[in-house]
């Protein structure tokens, strides 16, 4: 254990050679002590390497953060260049959003997002997903306190890429995505980060409400439930925030972007459904691979015919990287959102009643909770069956999900986009 502590101290010293003005407090020291004790207790070389980078990354944020009120006072006291003026406005906006979260949404803000860290990269964490070549069952990893999840997070992209190469060599398909923010579930006072502070108002509010929701309800090991809950709170809370601020134009623009994003999600869900049928079939692996290539190619053609219909060319990287691991990563965050929307409606739009209902669901065992969520989702789909009906994706190549080994020309099917803009 002494050797582990020595390694952690060395790691921390190396990470913190270049520091911003630190917040030095008993809270920071307590967090440091907690992390050292927590990760020193872990065994195994691979586990130690992973958790040491996690500890080092979190500690780096702890020691680089600046108090927002002090930073605001400094910025307001002098002439600012354009970048500093933009930062001042966004920091002020963030604090108003947090006040709304506490007062109107019933989210416990506490000391979270009352500090700021300027990063030297665009993402704070890199999440790595993996799945077998002919399966949509994700590789999972289990962690202390939070349970198991279908991804592995890294503060250092190079560390993530090294582990990604290892999984690639083992035959997994992988997808590595950058994350602008994450929640420590109340263990630490999460800071505002340069990776998201300059986001548009709607996106910033969505993100802050999302991350705060994680501290309100978290079910150990149920990532789909946790992320869908936070996604719903983020989006619904953001809409209420913009309406309260008279930001209908921003809300309209955000809704348009979300509509396009939902079209992309529908496309990917059809891809996932088609692949699931292929993987479940009893044909040879050779045939499965051929059908898989056909389906992925058809999806890319469908997107390329009208990328603006699916959110624009910013999603080209997703389509080019399309594989089982990427499909798993997308499903994690959105599959159960309709169930929470239905639950919010049945709660009369009361956040207090809604959170109480979610907490009741969280107390159920996994199977019962999943069944309840499915029933809620089915009701939401039925009630809103005509919503966005013109946006359905009707790519012909996905209409036949079954595998017909006697149809070698299936990969040449024409792919068309349904619905007019």
* End-of-domain residue from the set 44, 64, 84: 64
How many domains does the chain fold into? 2
- Rounded Cα–Cα distance for residues 131 and 136 (Å): 6
> pLDDT tens for residues 298-349?
999 999 999 999 999 889 989 999 999 999 988 666 779 999 999 999 999 9
136 occurs within a structural domain? no
27 occurs within a structural domain? yes
376 occurs within a structural domain? yes
305 occurs within a structural domain? yes
Question: Among candidates 143, 136, 224, 135, which has minimal Cα distance to 184?
Answer: 143
* End-of-domain residue from the set 22, 49, 64: 64
307 occurs within a structural domain? yes
CB pairs under 8 A, 24+ apart, for 303-309? 303/264, 303/267, 305/415, 305/416, 305/417, 306/417, 306/421, 308/260, 309/260, 309/263, 309/417, 309/421
59 occurs within a structural domain? yes
CB 332, CB 150: distance < 8 Å: yes
* End-of-domain residue from the set 64, 79, 110: 64
> The pTM is what?
0.76
109 occurs within a structural domain? no
Q: What is the pLDDT along the chain (421 residues), one digit of tens a residue?
A: 443 344 444 444 444 333 333 333 334 444 444 454 454 444 455 677 788 888 888 888 888 899 999 999 999 999 999 999 999 999 999 999 999 999 999 999 999 999 999 998 889 999 999 999 999 999 999 887 777 889 999 999 999 999 999 999 999 999 999 999 888 887 788 999 999 999 999 999 999 999 999 999 999 889 889 999 999 999 999 999 999 999 888 888 888 888 898 899 899 989 999 999 999 999 999 999 999 999 999 999 999 999 999 999 889 989 999 999 999 988 666 779 999 999 999 999 999 999 999 999 999 999 999 999 999 988 765 455 445 444 555 565 554 444 443 333 333 333 222 333 3
Residue located via tokens 């809620």: 376
Residue 29's domain comprises: 1-64
94 occurs within a structural domain? no
């Amino acid at each position: 254990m002494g050797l582990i502590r020595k390694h952690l101290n060395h790691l921390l010293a190396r990470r913190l050679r270049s520091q911003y003005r630190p917040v030095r407090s008993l809270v920071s020291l307590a967090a440091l002590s907690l992390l050292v004790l927590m990760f020193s207790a872990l065994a195994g070389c691979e586990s130690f390497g992973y958790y040491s980078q996690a500890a080092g990354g979190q500690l780096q944020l702890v020691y680089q953060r600046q108090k927002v009120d002090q930073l605001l006072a400094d910025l307001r006291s002098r002439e600012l260049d354009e970048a500093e003026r933009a930062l001042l406005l966004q920091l002020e906006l963030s604090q108003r959003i947090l006040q709304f979260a506490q007062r109107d949404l019933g989210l416990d803000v506490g000391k979270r997002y009352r500090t700021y860290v300027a990063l030297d990269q665009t993402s704070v964490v890199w999440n790595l997903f993996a799945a077998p070549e002919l399966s949509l069952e994700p590789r999972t990893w289990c962690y202390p306190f939070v349970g198991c999840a279908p991804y592995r997070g890294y503060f250092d992209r190079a560390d993530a890429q090294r582990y990604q190469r290892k999984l690639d060599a083992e035959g997994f398909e992988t997808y590595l995505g950058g994350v602008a923010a994450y929640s420590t579930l109340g263990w630490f006072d999460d800071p505002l980060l340069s990776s998201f502070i300059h986001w548009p108002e709607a996106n910033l509010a969505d993100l802050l409400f999302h991350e705060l929701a994680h501290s309100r309800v978290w079910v150990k090991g149920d990532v789909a439930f946790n992320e869908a809950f936070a996604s719903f709170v983020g989006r619904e809370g953001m809409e209420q925030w913009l309406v309260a601020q008279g930001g209908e134009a921003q809300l309209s623009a955000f809704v348009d972007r979300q509509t396009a994003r939902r079209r992309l999600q529908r496309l990917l869900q059809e891809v996932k459904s088609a692949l699931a049928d292929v993987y479940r079939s009893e044909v040879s692996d050779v045939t499965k691979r051929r059908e898989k290539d056909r389906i992925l190619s058809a999806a890319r053609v469908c997107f390329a015919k009208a990328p603006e219909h699916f959110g624009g060319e910013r999603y080209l990287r997703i389509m080019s990287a399309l594989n089982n691991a990427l499909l798993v990563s997308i499903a994690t965050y959105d599959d159960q959102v309709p169930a929470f929307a239905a639950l919010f409606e049945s709660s009369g739009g009361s956040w207090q009643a809604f959170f109480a209902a979610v907490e009741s669901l969280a107390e159920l065992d996994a199977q019962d909770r999943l069944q309840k969520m499915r029933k809620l989702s089915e009701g939401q789909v039925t009630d809103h069956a005509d919503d966005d009906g013109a946006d359905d994706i009707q790519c012909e190549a996905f209409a036949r999900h079954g595998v017909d080994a006697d149809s070698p020309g299936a990969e040449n099917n024409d792919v068309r986009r349904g619905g007019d803009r």
